[in-house]
Copies of this chain bind each other. A is one copy, B any other.
Amino acid sequence: MAKTTDDQEGEGPSWRQRAVSKSLNAARSRAEQRAQKLLDAAFSLIDERGTTEFTIQEVVDRSQQSLRGFYQYFESKDELLFALLEESIRESAADLQATVDSESKPLARLRAFTIRLHEWCEPAAGTRRKRGSHNRVPISEFSLQLALKDPDRLIAVMAPVSRMMVELLKAAAADGSIRSIEPRRAALLVQQAAMYGWIMNRFVQNPQARVTAEDTWDFCLRGLSG
């Protein structure tokens, strides 16, 4: 089953490792449960408010725990947000992989990936969230802050997605679908357009004038062709 980078049963996500290792192994599952409750509470607050501006107090109230407890599992509020980001990326990476795998031609795969990535970062107004999925916009915003204050950390957590993108670009270039340019550089350009395109959409009031995932892909495709 798990051919992925981190085998679930032993380690789990890195936030889990960090949180759990802070308490003794004996209490492992209890700790995980508690940490998870904190994450859930934070997610629900984010979903309700559409922003990461909640207080730790609200998180602990909602998850019926104590401040003391919170800081036992997370070093700071940023660590909590980072954990949420990790979760989101894990979720989206799996989905992106599935999306890509539903296509066979390199260019179609690249297209599917780009558009899906865009949708993850800025779900269109009409897009209904899947059950259990969360409002990712505030998380995208957090990722942006992270890019500013701790890029290395963001690189690390984004690595699976970035790698996927680079591979797709390589394949498309090998295939002749796009011109050959340094895939890492191309990946940066496309990632920026897809992941942070929503920033510019904040500038337009008229929904008609928004830049859609399709627009973005079109722009990128042309930018990539020879």
Contacts and interface: CB of A to CB of B under 8 A. Distances in A.
Contacts of A196: 192, 196, 199
Looking at chain A, what size class is its interface with the partner chain?
A: 20 to 34
Contact of A193 (B185, B189, B222): B189
B223 A185 contact: no
Nearest to A221: B223
Interface stretch (A4-12, A70-78, A147-155): A147-155
A204 B223 contact: no
Interface string A161-197: 0000000000000000000001011001101110011
Main secondary structure of the interface of A (DSSP, over half): helix
B223 A203 contact: no
B203 A154 contact: yes
Given A144-B144, A222-B224, A222-B225, A200 B192 contact: yes
Nearest to A137: B148
Interface string A79-98: 00000000000000000000
Contacts of A182: 209
A219 interface: yes
A199 B144 contact: yes
Contacts of A128: none
13 contacts: A147-B199, A148-B199, A148-B202, A151-B203, A182-B209, A185-B211, A188-B201, A188-B203, A188-B204, A188-B211, A191-B200, A192-B196, A220-B223
Pairs A-B, 9 closest by C-beta atoms: A151-B202, A223-B223, A219-B223, A188-B200, A222-B223, A192-B200, A189-B219, A222-B222, A155-B203
